[in-house]
Structures are given as structure tokens and as C-alpha cells.
Amino acid sequence: MFSIVKFAIWIVLFLAAAYFVAKFFGYDVNRDYFSGTRKQCEEKLKACTNDVFHQGVDNAKCDFNCVDPKLIIKKN
């Protein structure tokens, strides 16, 4: 149990350090990206679910790409 807590602390420290290093080199993290695109992703998921339901698992084709890394981290 202690090793899991220690590992979680290391991950948090690594992410915090990476955030400040990115800021130092002129990159900015768009923290509002996921809240802004959430509704669009939910609509895509609903359409994909309907396609799978009507066409079956074998014939369903879903273009489900909600995360664009270029919009999450931008260079200032």
C-alpha cells in the first residue's frame, strides 16, 4: 500500500515539474480544452452508439477522435 502512495506522489511531482518546464520553454497548457469539447465528444459518442446498435458490431465504422494534442499544448 505504501508503494502505491509513493508511486502516486512521484507521478504528481513529475507532472508538476513537466508543467513548469513547459512554461519555461514557452508552451502553454489549454486547461479549458476538455470542458469545451466535452459536448461535441458526447454527441459523437451518441452517434457512434446508434451506429453500432443499428449496424451491428461487425459493420460499424466510427470516426471517434476527440483529443487533438496540438490544441491541448500550444507554443506561445
Domain count, the chain: 1
Residue 4, pLDDT > 90, answer yes
Residue-range definition of the domain harbouring residue 37: 2-75
Contacts of 60 (CB under 8 A, 6+ apart): 48, 51, 52
pTM for the whole structure: 0.56
Tens digits of per-residue pLDDT, 44-53?
A: 888 888 877 7
Predicted pLDDT at 16: 95
Which residue in 39, 47, 50 sits closest to 63, CA to CA?
47
Tens digits of per-residue pLDDT, 6-30?
A: 999 999 999 999 999 999 999 988 8
8 A C-beta contact, residue 28 and residue 19: no
Predicted pLDDT at 27: 92
